[in-house]
């Protein structure tokens, strides 16, 4: 039996060339891309979010500190959220104190969202990008948040006697509006707006069976709650006793 043409000694056929493949494999793939340049990496997602916000009129791309991860909720956290694009815009217009602005991932950038981002940047508020599921969990059931939520801090009530001391220190006659049984925060906001219009020095509300200053009250007051302080007492009747106990 004749050996096949080109057969080498030892019975093995000719070795085929690699065509340069081995050489290319030895060269490697180059340096590893930075984390922010990898689209699937969390740093890359934050960079992409920062670029979207910059394109919408936010801060420059290089300043990415304004787009962060969502913070974990603290135990006993009694902050509230103003939700909805129009409501958040109204909250900014009313100068409601705020902590953070939360936006849903891949939110549609209409004119309202661009204005919201610009307002948040103007007040140096952190902008947090979270999933819609997280936004659903942090807002009330059934709330239509439209991918936007503004976190507002709990209101700091004045003590009624401290409020009186401040007014009397200006050599003025105190004019306080005492409220009892007001359970709708929108009514409280409307009363604050009226009280500011006729020059009231403050509002007094009971701690029980009455609404306090909430996000809805802030919004309805149209900024009046930034000018008219609110004090809390255990019982409105204590206002008519003299002297009133300071620990009331």
Domain holding 234: CATH number? 3.40.1280.10
Of 97, 131, 152, which marks where a domain is finished? Answer: 152
> Do 167 and 134 fall within a single domain?
no
* Rounded CA separation 103/30 (Å): 37
Is residue 124 included in any domain, yes or no? yes
- Burial of residue 87 (CB within 10 Å: 0-12, 13-18, 19+) is buried
**According to the model, what pLDDT value does residue 204 have?**
93
Please report, in tens digits, the pLDDT of each residue of the chain (248 residues total): 555 555 555 555 555 555 555 555 555 566 777 767 766 666 666 676 666 666 655 554 333 333 333 334 444 456 788 888 888 888 888 788 899 999 998 888 899 999 999 999 999 999 999 998 888 888 766 677 889 999 988 888 988 888 888 888 888 888 999 998 899 998 999 999 999 999 999 999 998 888 888 877 887 887 788 889 999 988 776 565 544 444 44
Domains: count for the chain: 2
Domain holding 140: CATH number? 3.30.1330.30
8 Å CB contact between 92 and 144: no
* Rounded CA separation 212/185 (Å): 7
> Do 56 and 102 fall within a single domain?
yes
DSSP 8-state secondary structure symbol assigned to residue 239: G
- Burial of residue 163 (CB within 10 Å: 0-12, 13-18, 19+) is buried
- Centre a 10 Å sphere on the Cβ of residue 145 and count the other Cβ atoms it contains: 21
Helix (H) / strand (E) element for 38: namely none
Helix (H) / strand (E) element for 152: namely strand 148-152
> Do 148 and 165 fall within a single domain?
no
> Do 125 and 221 fall within a single domain?
no
> Do 148 and 115 fall within a single domain?
yes
Is residue 133 included in any domain, yes or no? yes
> Do 148 and 164 fall within a single domain?
no
| Full domain range(s) for residue 112 | 42-70+78-152
> Do 124 and 209 fall within a single domain?
no
> Do 47 and 146 fall within a single domain?
yes
> Do 139 and 63 fall within a single domain?
yes
> Do 48 and 135 fall within a single domain?
yes
Kindly report whether the global pTM for this prediction surpasses the value 0.85: no
> Do 164 and 228 fall within a single domain?
yes
Of 128, 152, 176, which marks where a domain is finished? Answer: 152
pLDDT in tens, 142-181: 677 889 999 988 888 988 888 888 888 888 888 999 998 8
For residue 205, list its beta bridge partners: 232
Rounded to the nearest integer, the mean pLDDT of the chain is: 76
Of 105, 127, 152, which marks where a domain is finished? Answer: 152
Is residue 177 included in any domain, yes or no? yes
Q: What count of residues does the chain have? A: 248
8 Å CB contact between 81 and 73: no
Instruction: Put the strands of the sheet holding 148-152 in their side by side order.
Output: 67-68, 127-130, 100-104, 148-152, 80-83
> Do 142 and 185 fall within a single domain?
no
Is residue 173 included in any domain, yes or no? yes
Residue 221 CA neighbour count, 13 Å, CB half:
27
Reading the block at residue 189, the tokens are 């906001």
Reading the block at residue 138, the tokens are 């942090």
Residue 22 CA neighbour count, 13 Å, CB half:
4
Is residue 23 included in any domain, yes or no? no
């Amino acid at each position: 039996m004749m050996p096949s043409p080109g057969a080498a000694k030892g019975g093995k056929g000719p070795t085929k060339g690699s065509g340069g493949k081995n050489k290319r494999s030895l060269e490697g793939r180059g340096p590893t891309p930075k984390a922010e340049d990898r689209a699937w990496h969390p740093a890359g997602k934050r960079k992409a979010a920062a670029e979207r916000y910059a394109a919408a009129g936010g801060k420059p791309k290089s300043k990415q500190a304004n787009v962060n991860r969502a913070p974990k909720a603290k135990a006993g956290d009694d902050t509230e959220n103003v939700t909805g694009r129009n409501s958040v815009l109204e909250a900014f217009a009313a100068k409601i104190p705020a902590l953070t602005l939360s936006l849903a991932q891949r939110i549609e950038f209409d004119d309202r969202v661009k204005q919201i981002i610009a307002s948040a940047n103007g007040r140096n508020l952190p902008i947090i990008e979270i999933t819609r599921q997280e936004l659903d969990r942090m807002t009330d059931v059934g709330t239509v948040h439209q991918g936007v939520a503004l976190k507002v801090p709990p209101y700091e009530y004045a003590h009624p006697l401290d409020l009186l001391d401040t007014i009397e220190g200006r050599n003025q006659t105190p004019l306080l509006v005492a409220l009892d049984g007001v359970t709708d925060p929108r009514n409280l906001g409307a009363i604050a707006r009226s009280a500011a219009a006729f020059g009231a020095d403050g509002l007094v509300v009971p701690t029980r069976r009455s609404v306090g200053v909430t996000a809805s009250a802030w919004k309805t007051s149209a900024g009046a709650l930034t000018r008219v302080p609110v004090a809390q007492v255990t019982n409105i009747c204590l206002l008519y006793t003299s002297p009133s106990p300071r620990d009331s």
